[in-house]
Amino acid sequence: MVNEIYIVFGEELLPAKPDVDPVDFVQSGLGSEGDMMKALRNTDVLKPCKPAARALTGENDPEKMARKLLSFGPKAVAMTMGAEGSLIASGESITYQPAYRVKVVDTTGAGDAYMGGLSFALLMEWPLDRVASFANACAALCCTRVGARATSAGREVEALVDDAAG
């Protein structure tokens, strides 16, 4: 069982918290605001939730948040927005993906399921609309079961995507 999470920053190993916000980054001793910005410049895919994106950018509109986050250096931004779905942005485009409507039993692990789906879909080099759809479907299906390990097979994810597409 993992008791602590660490990030590598330069040659230092620093304690980290998942979903750390910018204020927490500094207050937790992870580094200065400048250190955080340096880390963002070296980020391929940034995946904040909407409140963290708002804290990082000072913006309220998701599209403006994504564009500003991209200006910090990441090649792509995948912002989760709860019941609103998600948004994935790159230098070329912004894709909104509404949340799938499922019978929610437990949301534990939904963010992890989203990250797994996002990572898989990006590695498959799918277009951003398919990446967003697949990642959202992974999260939605996780919510239909109890527990953080409520994963779904790829065929279940694809079936949800296909059903929603009509």
Q: Mind telling me the catalytic residues?
A: 109-112
Residue of 114, 123, 116, 125 lying closest to 87 (CA atoms): 114
Residue with tokens 């963002």: 40
The b-or-e profile of 126-159 (16+ CB within 10 A means b, else e) is eebeebbbbbbbbbbbbbbeeeeebbbeeeebee
Encoded tokens for 31: 């580094």
